[in-house]
Structure 1
Amino acid sequence: MPYGDPKFTVVNPSPDVDQSLRSLRASDYVAAAILSSGSWAYGYVFGKPTRVACANTAMALGMTCASMMLLQNGRARLRGYRENDREVKIYGAWPVQPELRAADRGTRRFPVATGTASPLTRPPLDWRNYD
């Protein structure tokens, strides 16, 4: 994910895998099919002694890459980092939207939306043990 503020409306700032899979588009499925079949063809062409075994192994790797790509794209749309007009119409916008800064005032180094972390996930440092 990019280290910056979302450019589009946030649907869910922390979507789970189930919601990411439900928000997939037809173009995502087509890209996954092309990546999987292309990796099978690559394994078949370059796996000279045992073409089918190499092709099947390459396809398994391609399907793994495609599934990660699908989750990444779906999650980016739900979090507002990619165009998400369809998802906003289906699921609605998150009640608390981050303030988007103007390009001249803000920098990528200090984003608004991704700059805070919960004390449960990142506890404050205890400096007493550092001597």
Structure 2
Amino acid sequence: MPFGDPKFTVVNPSPDVDQTLRSLRVSDWFSAAAISGGAWGYGYIFGKPIRMANASTGLALGMTCASMMLLQGSRLGLLQNGRSRLRGYRENAREVAKYGAWHVQPELKPVGEKRFPTATGLMSPSVQPPLDWRNYD
């Protein structure tokens, strides 16, 4: 989980693979197809002696990369939108309308100027509660 509070409404703080696949948008599917097709083309163009075998290997690697890019969730990244929208790190108005908001929301802090950020702490207590040291001996 990325450190820091999400900037948008949280739909599910730890979504599973099924919910992530159900919440993908058309642009995510097109991105996955473009990555897979590009990898196939790369394997075909540069696999001179045995083009189709290299193209098939490139397609398999491209599909693996595309699935990891879609299902991974982080605040940074080009296509890593699948889980990021459900977890509140990307714009998710459609997902909030479709699935509803999570019952525990972190305190949303206003986004200041990116050139001169202010220190807001690592995480709010609603996302990561403080440790209870009473049961540790």
Give the shorter-chain TM-score range.
0.7 to 0.9
After superposition, where does 1:31-110 map in structure 2 within 5 Å?
A: 31-72=31-72, 73-102=81-110, 104-107=118-121, 110=122
Q: Work out which structure has the larger RCO, using CA pairs closer than 8 Å and 6 or more positions apart in sequence.
A: 1
AA at the equivalent of 2:95: E
Aligned to 2:77: none
Cα distance in 1 between the residues matched to 2:47 and 2:2: 36
AA at the equivalent of 2:120: G
Q: Rate the CA distance shift 1:54–1:80 in 2: closer, same or farther, 3 A.
A: same
AA at the equivalent of 1:43: G
| Number of residue equivalences | 121
1:71 CA drift (Å):
1.0
TM-score (norm 1): 0.81
1:28 CA drift (Å):
0.5
Contact 1:3 1:114 in 2 (8 A): no
1:65 CA drift (Å):
0.6
Gaps of 5+ in 1: 120-125
Gaps of 5+ in 2: 73-80, 113-117
Q: Rate the CA distance shift 1:43–1:96 in 2: closer, same or farther, 3 A.
A: same
The superposition leaves residues 26-78 of structure 1 with CA deviations (integer Å, 9 ceiling, x where unpaired) of: 00000001000000000011111111100100110000011111112211110
Look up the SS of the partner of 2:24 in the other structure.
coil
Cα distance in 2 between the residues matched to 1:5 and 1:28: 24
